[in-house]
Amino acid sequence: MIQEEKAILNPIEKLRAVYPNVMKIQRELSSLDGHAKLKAKDREALSDIELFKAFFEQVTPEGTAFTDEMKALAQDLFNTIYKEGGSR
């Protein structure tokens, strides 16, 4: 069994390039944090930054910090999106 530390985009396509008869990939979540266990209704109560932080922690190697600088950059991006017509 192969275990990756970060998310792989289009993993089935990459496998099929080498093993054309691959039928499926099964993903086992070995380390769920509090955000991953939340139901959709509970996620709606989280801020955009909290949701983005949860996403960041799921797709980066364990121990990768979501710094204050990253948080500020993400907040600036959300503000720009909302200013240009998006809404939440």
- Residue 35, pLDDT score: 47
For 74, the enclosing helix (H) or strand (E) is helix 68-83
Per-domain residue ranges of the chain? 11-83
Query: Per residue in 39-56, pLDDT tens?
Result: 677 777 888 899 899 888
pTM across the whole model: 0.53
How far CA 65 is from CA of 4, 41, 47, 88, in Å, comes to 18, 27, 19, 26
Tokens describing residue 21 = 């008869």
